[in-house]
Amino acid sequence: MPRKTLAEFTVEFLQILDEDGNFDADLEPDLPPAELLRLYRGMVRARELDQRMLKLQRQGRIGTFGPCTGQEAPSAAAALAMQKDDWFVGAFRELSGRLLRGEPLTNPLYYYNGWEEGNVQPPEVGRRMLPLAVVVASQVPQAAGLGYAVKYRGEQSAVVCFLGDGATSEGDFHEGLNFAAVWQAPVVFVSQNNQWAISIPRAQQTRSRTLAQKGIAYEIPCLQVDGNDPLACYAAIKEGLDRARAGGGPTLIEAVTYRLLMHTTADDPRKYRDEAEEQEWWRKEPLLRFRKYLEAKRLWDEARENALRDEVRAEVDAAVATFEETAPWPPDRPFEHVFARSEPHLDQQRREFLAGLKEDADA
């Protein structure tokens, strides 16, 4: 008996705006000028805060953090495509999306100084933004569960869950995708393929030709997009959210982007990658091309750019001043968030930690 083909698959790629500012007018999403400007402003705010945090870290004024420079497009686009009641489930490179959802600029400063309070959103933002997920892929099953919950309750809301390229090699990723598919949970998974997982390059991460195709095994519609193209990211995430709300279950999007800076401030990329590769990606970064797009639409010019940068830098200055002047929690505050009730070994660690700080101060 001859073998026969049971199934065939394709993986599509979407780009609307390229690095030179050329765009496909037929594919342009229907976003009014005010929304396009909001998107750009959101990305600029993230870039400026990121750059400032890098300086603060180097000066010992905040702790270790993972910069998001170059990866502003996917989560900013998601924030625009999402509704207020949707759940935002991030990893740790979604600064632009978080800020666009309303997170105060002081939150990342608090968080990266060791205060879990930086994950708490003010009431106007609401609770539908999960804390940063540093444990790689741990947020994927949680997003599937949230999707199941909103569906079970008959809500119209959906979930957008971010993860990295390395995260797609984790068991949690596959378990989460499997459950989301079986339950037809309204979740849009967005893998930010920034080409690196610390020092592991994309080519050593997986043999899969695309990360998007990992959805196929679970019968999840998938798409690869130019992750430095905010318009393609928006169109793809919006399509996924519309499908989710219409009962069509989950979507997997691979957003092809690049981590322009270090993994975290604790490492030095020059040890494991070529500077020529970085330079090539600086040319493709999202702010540059989106500015060109806005200029082509006659929505932007040099004067507006300078005014925005000044305004945002002043905003960042004010946030840093608030963070440093008010210093709202003592340095041993994180110990209060480990267990509901403290344990003797934790009390011991806390005493040692405080004694160490005192020693450093006295030295």
Ligand X SMILES: Cc1ncc(C[n+]2csc(CCOP(=O)(O)OP(=O)(O)O)c2C)c(N)n1
Catalytic residues: 259, 263, 272
Angstrom distances, CA of residue 195 to CA of 21, 132, 198, 243, 260: 23, 21, 10, 28, 10
For Mg ion, which is the closer residue by CB, 189 or 323?
189
The answer to whether 193 and 222 are in contact (CB under 8 A) is no
CB of residue 132 to ligand X, shortest distance in Å: 11
Which among ligand X, Mg ion, none contacts residue 136 (Cβ within 5 to 8 A by kind)? ligand X
Q: Which does 134 bind (CB under 5 to 8 A by kind): Mg ion, ligand X, none?
A: ligand X
Closest residue to Mg ion, based on beta-carbon distance: 164
Q: CB-wise, 167 or 232, nearer to ligand X?
A: 167
Nearest residue (CB) to Mg ion, 165 versus 285: 165
Query: What is the number of the residue whose Cβ is closest to ligand X?
Result: 164
Shortest reach from residue 64's CB to Mg ion, in Å = 17
Place of tokens 């604790």: 266
Residues 190-249 that bind Mg ion (CB under 5 A): 194, 197
Do the strands 222-226 and 13-14 form a parallel or antiparallel pair, or are they unpaired?
parallel
Cα(76)–Cα(59) distance, integer angstroms: 29
Q: Rounded to an integer, what distance in angstroms lies between the CA atom of residue 7 and that of residue 285? A: 37
Q: Residues 146 to 165: which contact Mg ion by CB under 5 A?
A: 164-165
The position carrying tokens 């279950």 is: 249
Minimum distance of Mg ion from residue 274's CB (angstroms): 17
Residue 214, binding choice from Mg ion, ligand X, none, Cβ under 5 to 8 Å by partner class: none
Show the tokens assigned to 311. Answer: 């305004």
Return the number of the residue (94 or 165) whose C-beta is nearest Mg ion: 165
| DSSP string across 111-166 | HTTT-GGGGPPPTTT-S-BPPP--STTTHHHHHHHHHHHHHHTT-S--EEEEEESG
In angstroms, what is the minimal distance from the CB of 300 to ligand X? 29
Cβ–Cβ under 8 Å, residues 128 and 172: no
Q: Which does 263 bind (CB under 5 to 8 A by kind): ligand X, Mg ion, none?
A: ligand X
The number of beta carbons lying within 10 Å of the beta carbon of residue 206 is 14
In DSSP notation, 294-320 reads HHHTTS--HHHHHHHHHHHHHHHHHHH
Considering the complex, state which of residue 27 and residue 266 has its C-beta at the smaller distance from ligand X.
266
Q: Output DSSP code: residue 208.
A: -
Q: Specify the residue, 259 or 289, whose C-beta has the smaller distance to ligand X.
A: 259
Nearest distance in Å: CB 194, Mg ion: 4
Contacting positions for ligand X (CB under 6 A): 93, 134-136, 164-167, 194, 196-198, 259, 263
Q: Give least dist CB 198 to ligand X, A.
A: 5
List residues near Mg ion by CB under 5 A: 164-165, 194, 197
